[in-house]
Amino acid sequence: MRGSPPLSPPLSGRERLQGGRLLVFFPDDTLSDGVSDQVTRGFFDEHNVPPWDTWVGMFREDPESDTQSADYLIAWVPPVFLDSVAQGIFVNPEQCIQWLEDSTTMMAQRLKDLTTP
């Protein structure tokens, strides 16, 4: 055996998520209007909550922050639902659902720090 086996190239953020994306939901900000539920044909419920089997975890933001609510849920959106969920985010007037990378949460910043070379 000569040398070391070749190393696999590092996975990009998209590859790590198997083609899906991370979504953030701010439960304290929802108007529960049901529009995202209708547009996504049930991906979100009438309160804008993503399906429980996509949940990654519940996180607490800095309570002193004036830019976001204190508590938020992160969920993984499978690739097959990306277009539908993007439409659900677009029609959500209170912006209680967002792509994680577009949010100003501490978790979004931490993930950016981990994936930026």
- In order of 67, 68, 71, 117, the CA distances from 64 in angstroms are 9, 10, 12, 30
**How do residues 7-22 score in pLDDT, each as one tens digit?**
444 445 555 557 899 9
72 pLDDT tier (thresholds 50, 70, 90): very high
Which is more confident, 98 or 4? 98
Calculate what percentage of the chain has a pLDDT beyond 90. Answer: 64
Q: What is the percent of the chain where pLDDT is above 70?
A: 79
HSE, side-chain direction, 13 A CA sphere, residue 50: 30
Task: Round the average pLDDT of the chain to a whole number and report it.
Answer: 85
How many angstroms separate the Cα of 102 from the Cα of each of 7, 10, 14, 54, 114? 32, 23, 15, 19, 16
Let me know how many helices (H) and strands (E) the chain has, helices first.
Answer: 4, 4
The domain ranges of the chain are: 16-115
The CATH number given to 16-115 is: 3.30.70
